[in-house]
Structure 1
Amino acid sequence: MINVRFECEILRASRTRLAQLIEKSTYEILFKIPDGFNNNIIWQIGHCITSQQRHIYMRSGLPMYISKEFEDSFKIGSSPDSWKITPDVNEVKHLLIDTVNHLESDLESGLFVNYEPFDLPIGFQVKNHVQALQAANYHEAEHSGQIFTYLKLLVKE
């Protein structure tokens, strides 16, 4: 049996670590694109938030806790080159934790009833909101690895 609270604790721990990284990093580090890559640390973090919202809320037929502008800035296929406005670092940092708070509350209240399944590029089908949460944790771990790689590359410069 899947422990949804534990999955939320993992998500919160990952997000807290990213929020701390934002607090400790300069604007230049957060927004600089390392050589050989097409996005930056703030895009990676915003992308994690956007994917979690799309995969859990949108596929459940529920409104997301992010704006359409935020979603467009960080959804798959976007990049800093496509940004119409520069994202607000404080908004990104706020959403890291706020979206976890909402998720925990919404899970407790039984808000998730319907779900539109989708296939992950790694060959699995996500069939419900709980699996979407598990997939979000996996996805965020991948992007956290990228973020800390970027950080090492950028701090050396």
Structure 2
Amino acid sequence: MEQLIFEHMETVRGITEKSIERIPEEMADIIPEGFNNSIRWNFGHIAFVQEKLVFGISGEKLNVPVNYERLFGAGSKPADWSEPPPSFREIASVLAGQKSRIKTFLHGRLDQQLPNPYTNRSGITFYTSGEAFLFGFYHEAIHMETIKQIYRSILNKG
């Protein structure tokens, strides 16, 4: 089952990686009416939250640039940025690099208890590494759908 879960991660993340490659970076920071964040923010948020769900809540050091939490953490938004955000290429590199690190770290540990149960902003509590990791697929899909909606909105307005 573990192998199947890691294959699913490759599929989900592959969709994300193809999207960041296809979307022109000129659209990265446009926030259409009705949206709170940009395409760049959503890709960065996917990377940061997956890092936190796999490594952070397990008590491990995060291996994303230190500014990712400020730029892309829950509750952040581009309107509050006081520093230049990373390029699509930089975010894509973080997204791609997470896959092998996650497989190595979680191999044989999906049932491992977290040092402390973790409750996310939606009120869902995770007790094991696997629960938090699997939630990451749902989270990534939600933000990919938002990216698609923002992209379509930009195209339809132009």
Q: Measure the CA separation in 1 of the matches of 2:144 and 2:25.
A: 18
Counterpart secondary structure, 2:116: coil
1:86 is aligned to 85
Q: Measure the CA separation in 1 of the matches of 2:144 and 2:92.
A: 15
1:147 is aligned to 147
1:48 is aligned to 46
Matches within 5 A, 1:51-130: 51-83=49-81, 84-108=83-107, 114-130=114-130
Q: Measure the CA separation in 1 of the matches of 2:10 and 2:20.
A: 15
Are 2:36 and 1:38 equivalent residues in the alignment?
Answer: yes
1:136 is aligned to 136
Which residue, out of 12, 16, 19, partners 1:18?
16
Instruction: Give 1:102 shift.
Output: 0.5
* Greater Cα offset, 38-47 or 104-113: 104-113
Instruction: Give 1:123 shift.
Output: 4.3
Q: Measure the CA separation in 1 of the matches of 2:131 and 2:66.
A: 24
8 Å CA contact 1:33–1:39 kept in 2: the answer is yes
Distance change (3 Å), C-alpha of 1:109 and 1:6: closer
Q: State TM-score, norm by structure 1.
A: 0.88
8 Å CA contact 2:55–2:62 kept in 1: the answer is yes
Would you tell me which structure has more strand in proportion to its own residues? 2
* Greater Cα offset, 6-15 or 61-70: 6-15
CA root-mean-square deviation: 2.0
Structure 1 letter corresponding to 2:147: I
2:25 is aligned to 27
- Equivalences, count: 155
Instruction: Give 1:113 shift.
Output: 6.7
Instruction: Give 1:53 shift.
Output: 0.9
Determine what percentage of the aligned residue pairs are the same residue. 25
Instruction: Give 1:92 shift.
Output: 0.4
Instruction: Give 1:7 shift.
Output: 2.5
Instruction: Give 1:8 shift.
Output: 2.5
8 Å CA contact 1:34–1:154 kept in 2: the answer is yes
List alignment gaps of at least 5 residues for structure 2: none
Q: Measure the CA separation in 2 of the matches of 1:120 and 1:86.
A: 25
Instruction: Give 1:116 shift.
Output: 2.3
Q: State TM-score, norm by structure 2.
A: 0.87
4+ residue segments displaced more than 6 Å: none
2:5 is aligned to 7
